[in-house]
Structure 1
Amino acid sequence: MRKYIKIFLWLPLLLSLNAVNAAAENKLSVVASFSILGDITAQIGGDKIELTTLVGNNGDAHTYSPKPNDVKKVAAADLVVLNGLGFEGWLPRLLESSHFSGMKISASDGISSLQGACSHSKHQDHEVHHEHADEHENQHAGSHGDENNHEHEHADSHGHHHDIDPHAWHSIKNVKVYAANISRALSIIDPDNISYYQHNLAVYEQKLNTLDSKIKTMFASIPQEQRKVIVPHSAFAYFQRDYQVSFYSLQGTSTESEASAADIAAVIDQVRKNEIKAVFVENISDNRLIEQISADTDAQVGGKLFSDALSNADQGASSYLELMEHNALSLVNALK
């Protein structure tokens, strides 16, 4: 009798575990290349996806080296979401070595992209050198082409090569395109849950719009001629375009480049010439040179900006929305 009573008591738990396992088996396996993109994907996919993010919080996707376990994760994925614009230079080889056969999308497809800084920064205002005239927001998100897996370059009249700046997520306008592309891709793979992905997209777009308005209001109190800062690498051109903040950088669009003594001297000259009040460190960069510039000038370290990665939960930028608000608030407080 006791035997049957024990079975009866355990039965609800066994049924519950079976239900959980069945739900997990029905989820889409999705791989995102880095933490910011992972968060955006999670906002749209919700509990319908099993998400793996390759480059985690505070990780540098510029210099990432895939691990053996990444091959297994990618091989098993239904969908791989990458930024594109040449950002993940290590990803094409990973896709090839894993024999990936699922769907791949570049979340940045259709955004209005900017030309990046020279590979060796000339320390000018990070102004818009090139911008597509139109945003093709209706471009098909399920493209399987490889055009976004390679660096996009062109040479100017002086023979310098300029890349397309891949840091497009620093524009909320662009992230709305990212989210729409992800929603569309998930809907193609999982048509039974189209309404779910569309609902999540609408909710997320509203949050993005609210934050965009909040950031514009925050900067309205800062005269535009005061909106000048120094950062370690050239990652904030899209933020500059949207909120008219001029960023001077030690490095180009990739953290792989190294600043020389001449580069440091040039930035110090820019600080003095343009009366720049604030320098910032980043969560993914070696910040010793920024601290040296602050020591050699009157510019104060205004805090830490999160450029290419989310923070850990206790650092205030563990989601894309938190990252953008944290960066904007840090900049405004330093520029007052």
Structure 2
Amino acid sequence: MKIALSICFLIAIYSTVLGAELRVVSLHPLIGDLLRQVGGEKVEVIDLIGSNGDPHSFEPQAGDLADAEGAEIFFASGMGLENYLPKLEAILDGKSKIVEVGSTLPALEGSCDHAEEHDEHEHHHAHEVDPHWWHSVDLFRRAVTIVSKELAEARPENKSVYEENAAAYRKNLDALEKWVRRELIRIPRDQRKLATAHDAFQYFCVAYDFKSYSVQGLNREQMPDAVKLAELIATLKADRVVAIFPEKESNPKMLLSLTKDTGIRLGGELVADGRGMPSYEKMMKHNVETIVKGLSVK
């Protein structure tokens, strides 16, 4: 009886080790959602940045890394957004892998109406390319495959689970893409002009045929001088832009002054980085509904 119990105990331990969850770290609110969708119950996701963290200013502290003890992979959004990654890599010293999900996705640089794609192997310094690739549903769908492959490489025994979860999530994103395009039809072509607080929606513009205008640059620290602001106001007036959209994370005072000087109405708040949203799909639906409401014919 004792021998039988010992064997059962050893089998239980062995099974636990084989089925041990893969611990991974998310360095971006939307990447955390993506990891949970693909990993399911086979992955433990540690959100170092949290649902309300700002990817532009976040940098892991000692306490954060203590919370991530035992994590095998750190997932970043990439494209230069997390400029602290070299420092993090040195701290991890090979104990954990760092994956930049967006590093092999086609990148955009410059303003939306004449943005260019860059070769996937070309490297850029932080913020020379627009790192907000998740505003294209197609690119987020491609990121699903990237994440699935990375998880399967870490836990080959769970490959089929990751692939099934990825396939199911891609179907959800297919439906989301169709919904986005159907909703945007309500905006006349000549009003597809998206003026925003900072330059975070170029991928959205390229994907859905909008022209982009932004008060700030690729990050919220880049503020225009008086000359550039005057040029922007002149452009908005000349192009008959009907609304300008603030972001939940930005100070709306400058945008309010712009609306007074131009007669352009202030639209609803957009979400640039997924902060405060329960999922990627919720963020996209919120943004599209807000844009449609602000730009569609009254």
Normalised by the shorter chain, which TM-score bucket? 0.7 to 0.9
| The one of 126, 141, 154 aligned to 1:189 | 154
1:263 CA drift (Å): 3.0
> 8 Å contact 2:113–2:210 — kept in the other structure?
no
The runs of at least 4 consecutive aligned structure 1 residues that moved more than 6 Å come to none
Amino acid at match of 1:195: S
| The one of 93, 110, 115 aligned to 2:87 | 93
Paired residue for 1:333? 293
Paired residue for 1:234? 199
TM-score, normalised with respect to structure 2: 0.87
Paired residue for 1:69? 63
Q: Report matched runs for 1:48-63 at 5 Å.
A: 48-63=42-57
Shift in alpha-carbon separation, 1:107–1:242, aligned structure 2, 3 A = same
1:75 CA drift (Å): 5.0
Distance in 1 (alpha carbons) for counterparts of 2:114 and 2:157: 42
Paired residue for 1:269? 234
Shift in alpha-carbon separation, 1:128–1:177, aligned structure 2, 3 A = farther
Paired residue for 1:32? 26
Paired residue for 1:80? 74
Distance in 2 (alpha carbons) for counterparts of 1:29 and 1:73: 11
1:91 CA drift (Å): 2.5
Paired residue for 1:126? 112
Q: Report matched runs for 1:1-336 at 5 Å.
A: 26-74=20-68, 76-115=70-109, 117=110, 126-132=112-118, 151=125, 163-311=128-276, 317-336=277-296
Encode CA deviations 1:110-141: one digit per residue, 9 max, x unaligned: 322211x3xxxxxxx522432147xx7xx9xx
Encode CA deviations 1:242-265: one digit per residue, 9 max, x unaligned: 111222101111222223233332
Distance in 2 (alpha carbons) for counterparts of 1:234 and 1:108: 18
SS in 1 for 2:269: strand
> 8 Å contact 2:198–2:217 — kept in the other structure?
yes
> 8 Å contact 2:274–2:280 — kept in the other structure?
no
1:282 CA drift (Å): 0.9
Distance in 1 (alpha carbons) for counterparts of 2:255 and 2:83: 26
> 8 Å contact 1:233–1:253 — kept in the other structure?
yes
Shift in alpha-carbon separation, 1:72–1:128, aligned structure 2, 3 A = farther
TM-score, normalised with respect to structure 1: 0.78
Number of aligned residue pairs: 284
Percentage identity across paired residues of the two chains: 30
> 8 Å contact 1:128–1:241 — kept in the other structure?
no
Unaligned runs of 5+ in 1: 1-17, 118-124, 140-146, 153-161, 312-316
Larger strand fraction of residues:
1
